[in-house]
Amino acid sequence: MLTKRIIPCLDIKNGRTVKGVNFVDLRDAGDPVELAKQYADYGADELVFLDITATLEARATTLEMVLHVAEQVNIPFTVGGGISSVEHVDALLKNGADKVSINSSAVKRPELVNELADKFGSQCVVVAIDAKEIDGAWKVHLAGGTIPTEIDLFEWAKEVEERGAGEILFTSMNHDGTKGGFANKALARLSEELNIPIIASGGAGNVQHFIDTFTIGKSDAALAASVFHFGEIPIPDLKKELKKHNIEVRL
């Protein structure tokens, strides 16, 4: 049985970690480098950093942050936000990132997935998909969830897998920040239809939600933010509970 992963997500804005509800109402959650080190020490399996504003001016800040994080942690970490070229990915990986996450740029130019997989290998290409269930259909949204499209979540996930993506990071916009649980029905379908790992994101509120996404949702990894940032669920305690439910985790 493959080990399930627990992944804290740090949304970065102007060099700080922030957290909102349904992608809005952001509040400060601390220094990303300090939080990264803390999570690594507490037993997180990986980290994800998303530059949620990703303006051109912030790119230098992001590169500097990646370098500082790489110096402080010994677990894999993924960086995303505004990535649209092989050159940008090259710079992030050279500064110490292990993987990159692409979202809107992949939808606008799907060939980017192929280019990154060919150049750096599928193992470091994560395609993040923000989707919202509207009248029973899951539709992909771009630009931090602000731009709706008619693209179907499942069709898009299959396409990026074929193009060379190594993992899918699926965030349910309906569940994000609500602490009501993950979108397990959609996650289970993704897991059944795809052959690459699926990371669940959006909705973590308690330990049972993690148990459910690994069992009902068949997720390979679970990503969360506020429950970790604000100390509501300590990672060591979470992992012990998962182990009690026969879910294989690294302690």
**Positions marked catalytic:** 11, 130
CA 58 to centroid of chain Cα atoms: 20
- b (16+ CB within 10 A) / e for 191-215: beebebbbbbbbbbbbbebbbbbbb
Q: Which residues contact 223 (CB under 8 A, 6 or more apart)?
A: 7, 8, 9, 48, 169, 199, 200, 201, 204
Copy the structure tokens of residue 173.
Answer: 């916009």
Closest of 153, 161, 115 to residue 136, by C-alpha: 153
Amino acid at 71: E
9 burial level (CB within 10 Å; 0-12, 13-18, 19+): buried
Point out which residues pair with 4 in neighbouring strands.
249
User: In this structure, which amino acid lies at residue 31?
Assistant: D
Contact (CB, 8 A) for 201 and 171? yes
Pairing of strands 137-142, 147-152: antiparallel
